[in-house]
Amino acid sequence: MLTTAKSLVDAANAVVPKISGKEAIDMVGKRDPVLIDIRDSAQLE
């Protein structure tokens, strides 16, 4: 089976919990979170 970008994203989404921006802000200071920004550079402009 060919591995596609979509299949990799689907696999990651299956195991990585999604949180809102507010949840991320609330976590900072209460825990020691690791936040990774995966936006495309075009999304940052």
DSSP codes of every residue in 1-45: ----HHHHHHHHHHHSPP--HHHHHHHBTTB---------GGGG-
- The confidence score (pLDDT) of residue 41 equals 80
Residue 39 within any structural domain of the chain? yes
Residue 3 within any structural domain of the chain? no
Residue 36 within any structural domain of the chain? yes
Residue 25 within any structural domain of the chain? yes
- Interacting residues of 33 by C-beta distance below 8 A, sequence separation 6+: 24, 27
Q: How many domains does the chain have?
A: 1
Please give the residue range of the domain that contains residue 33: 13-44
Residue 6 within any structural domain of the chain? no
User: Contact at 8 Å (CB) between 24 and 35?
Assistant: yes
> What is the full per-residue pLDDT of the chain (45 aa) written as tens digits?
788 999 998 999 999 888 888 888 888 878 788 878 777 888 777
Cα–Cα distance measured from residue 8 to residue 11, given in angstroms and rounded to the nearest whole number:
5
Residue 40 within any structural domain of the chain? yes
